[in-house]
Amino acid sequence: MRERVGDGGLYWTSADRSAAAALSGAQVPAAGLLLWIESFGRDDYGAGNGGALGGLCLLVGVPLLLPVVGMALTFVLTLPSVVLARLATRRLGGPSWLWHLVAPVAPALVWGTVTALPFSWPLTTTVGVLTALGVLPTLGVAYVRGRSWLPGGVWWRAALGSAGLFVLAFGGGVLATESGLIKQYEPPKLSAARLVGEWHGPHGAVLRLGPDGHAEATGLPAEPPVDDWPEKEFVRCDGTGTWAREDGESDGGREGIGLRLKGDCGDETHWSFGGSVDAPELFVIFGELDGGEPTILRPARS
């Protein structure tokens, strides 16, 4: 279907929507694989990246999400970018492919800002990722438009392209891990001297660790007493107690500290090491208000 000249290009056709959905969805398997591989270099806070089971879930789950994610990307990124590119070409001139190449930056900036603010994600990351997801489908819609393909032509071509992108992503991920570009995350090994001091967490939580093994807590989440479990996932404690560095053999291999507070704060809680040597963290996988998220303590700034 060839492009009409009227109304400045501020429209899209059913063929545009079909091409955009097919090309947007074609990127999802490769993008999901790269995201999974990239997660190896980040702290999972003891949750694990899933191993073989995670890979199986990825292979099964991603195809089921392709239509949904592809259609979402179509209306959020691709079609607005196509309209902007056509309008810029007709009003400002220049190569059409160049406008289709840069147009995804505009909607990516809008949705990247909306996405970054609630989660405190870096704006450069959200805008960069969304722009990358918008470029190929936007260029693809421009390429497909004007070609007399059967309705299903773009879909099987997109499927072949998706397989090729997945192979490239897999090969790139293997090279990145083998070359050390993406390194497996390892928690820091913190000495007792590095642990002494004041640690701050969310919702006003404070933990003070003394060099003599004395500990003071304010609003600190702790595992509940035995008689309160499983009704309570955690309790918040104020008070004093003791702490000691632990090798992590009782907590899945993560080194950390064992914290025992007096009063109704339950049994000893193991706070694991996280973060890095330069930016150390202590964490437990409970205590956040939304549930299931780790509570992270960081050293107070001097």
- Long-range contact list for 61-65, CB < 8 A, 24+ apart? 62/28, 62/29, 62/32, 63/29, 65/28
Per-residue confidence (pLDDT) for residue 52, from 0 to 100: 46
Q: What mean pLDDT is predicted for residues 9-34?
A: 79
State phi, psi for 196 to the nearest 5 degrees: -65, 130
Nearest to 190 by CA among 83, 263, 71, 274: 274
Could you tell me the CA-to-CA distances from 20 to 27, 113, 184, 213 in Å, in that order? 11, 23, 36, 61
pLDDT at residue 289 tops 90:
no
Nearest to 22 by CA among 126, 109, 168, 150: 150
CA distance 96 to 11: 16
Q: What mean pLDDT is predicted for residues 273-286?
A: 88
Per-residue confidence (pLDDT) for residue 209, from 0 to 100: 95
What is residue 125's DSSP assignment?
H
Q: What mean pLDDT is predicted for residues 136-149?
A: 79
Per-residue confidence (pLDDT) for residue 216, from 0 to 100: 93
**Higher pLDDT residue, 69 or 9?**
69
Q: What mean pLDDT is predicted for residues 32-56?
A: 66
Per-residue confidence (pLDDT) for residue 6, from 0 to 100: 32
Residue 102 neighbours by CB under 8 Å, 6+ apart:
85
Q: What mean pLDDT is predicted for residues 90-94?
A: 88
Exposure string of 18-44, with b = 16+ CB inside 10 Å and e = fewer, is: bbbbbbbbbbbbbbbbbebbeeeeebe
